[in-house]
Amino acid sequence: MLPVLSRSLAAHPWLERADIVHLQLIHNAQFFSVLGLPALSTRRRVVLSIHDMFLMTGHCVYSMGCERWQHGCGECPDLELPFTIRFDTSALGWAIKRRAFERSSLDLVVGSPWQRERVAKSPLLSRFPVHYVPYGVDTRVFRERDRRACREELGIPQDAHVIAFRSIASRKSFKGTEFVERALSSLPEGRETWLLTFDETGGLESLRGRYRFIEFGWMLDQEVVARALNATDVFLMPSTAEAFGLMAIEAMACGTPVIVFEGTALPETVGAPESGIAVPPDAGALAGAITRVLGDPALRARLRENGLRHVRERHGFEDYARRYLELYQSLAAEEPRRAAA
C-alpha cells in the first residue's frame, strides 16, 4: 500500500506516448502502490495481470482454504504468509484495495481457468472485464534435445533414474518440498537415482547418501535448465497452492512427464490425466505415482508425447504473443471507460 515511488508514473512521458499500460506483479516489489491505480487508469487504458490471489485478499497470496477474502478478510488465520505482519491488518488491506479498485478502470488478464474462477468470486475484482491468455513457454529453449548428450554433460549414467523438482525448505513456500522429501524417503532402494534440484541448495538431509544430487540453486540460465529437464525421467511439482505452474510446462516442452497435486491450477495446466499425472496432496500418493512413472516406460512415452502435443497446442510462445497483441489492439481501438468517482 505504502510505496510512493510510482506516484509520478501517471505523468511520465512514456505513459503519455503509450496506447496501453500493462502491469505485472505490482505487489512483488516495493515500487508500485495499489493506490496509484485510479490516477493511472484515468490517463490510459490499464491492463492488470492476475498471477495469484494477493489483489483479492487483505494479506495472503493464496488463501489455502480460507474464504474470508470473499467477505472482507480480518481474523487472518496466518499472519506469516507470504510475509510476516505483526498485527492483523488484513481487513484494512482488503478495504484499501476495494476503495482503490472502485475508483479504477481496469482490464484483467488471467492465465488459467483457476485464476478466472477466483476473480469471478472476488468482490474486489469481479466488476472488471477478464481476458484469458494461457501462459506460453519459449519452445526455442524448452524443447526436446538429445537425452544421452544432456546426461553426459551432467555426468549422469544413462541407465540411472533421474528426478527433478524445486527445493524450497521454508514453511512459507507452497511448492511442496516436504512432500517430495517424505515420498522419496519411502521409495524402495533399487536402481541408482539422481535428484536434480532448483531454487535452493542444502536441506533434504534424509535423502543425502541415498541419492546422488545435482543442485542448480536459483538458475537464471534457461539453457541450463532446459538441458537438465531433458536429462530427467520425471519432474515433480507437488505445489499445495499454484495459480498456473510455468515450470511444469517447461518440463513438458522438454518431453519430461510431470506429477502434480490436485486442488490447484496444476492438473488443468498439465492436462491431467492424458498428458500429466495429478494425485491427492499426500506423500504416499506422490511416492506411488513416482514409482509408477519410473517403472513403466510405456507410460513415460505416452505422457511425453501427449505432453509435447499439449504444450504445442495450448502454450506455444508465438500463440501467447499473438493473443496479447490482439488484446492490445482490441483495447486500444475501444472508447476509454471511466471508473466511478
Map 279-329 to HEC letters: ECCCHHHHHHHHHHHHHCHHHHHHHHHHHHHHHHHHCEHHHHHHHHHHHHH
Whether 271 and 164 map to the same domain: the answer is yes
- Would 65 be classed as within a structural domain? yes
Residue 171 and residue 117 share a domain = no
For residue 258, being part of any structural domain is answered with yes
In this structure, the answer to whether residues 166 and 308 fall within a common structural domain is: yes
pLDDT at residue 172 in the model: 66
Q: How confident is the model at residue 120 (pLDDT cuts 50, 70, 90)?
A: very high
DSSP-derived secondary structure letter, 35? G
Spatial distance between the Cα atoms of 204 and 170, rounded to a whole number of angstroms: 12
What confidence tens digit (pLDDT) does each residue in 295-340 have?
Answer: 999 999 999 999 999 999 999 999 999 999 999 999 999 876 655 5
Residue 292's pLDDT band, with cuts at 50, 70 and 90, is very high
Same domain, 308 and 166: yes
Asked if 311 and 183 sit in the same domain, the reply is yes
Please check whether residue 178 lies inside any domain of the structure.
yes
252 plus 277 within the same structural domain: yes
Is 122's pLDDT higher than 70?
A: yes
103 & 38 share domain: yes
Residue 7: phi and psi, rounded to 5, are -65, -35
Q: Helix, strand, or coil here: 150? A: helix
Q: Taking a C-beta distance cutoff of 8 angstroms, is the pair 193, 160 a contact?
A: yes
- Report the number of distinct structural domains present in the chain: 2
Domain encompassing residue 87? 7-136+319-333
What's the pLDDT at 66? 94
- Do 201 and 123 belong together in one domain? no
The pLDDT of residue 82: 75
Residue 87 and residue 49 in one domain: yes
Place of cell 538431509: 205
Q: What is the model's pLDDT at position 287?
A: 98
- The CATH number of whichever domain residue 256 belongs to comes to 3.40.50.2000
Within this chain, do residues 73 and 221 fall inside the same structural domain, yes or no?
Answer: no
pTM of the model: 0.90
Lowest-pLDDT range, 3-17, 122-136, 195-209?
3-17
Same domain, 35 and 89: yes
Whose grid coordinates read 508465438?
Answer: 318
Residues 278 and 270: their CA atoms lie apart, in Å, by 9
- Answer yes or no: do 151 and 279 share one domain: yes
Looking at residue 141, the DSSP 8-state letter turns out to be: T
Is 19 part of any domain? Answer: yes
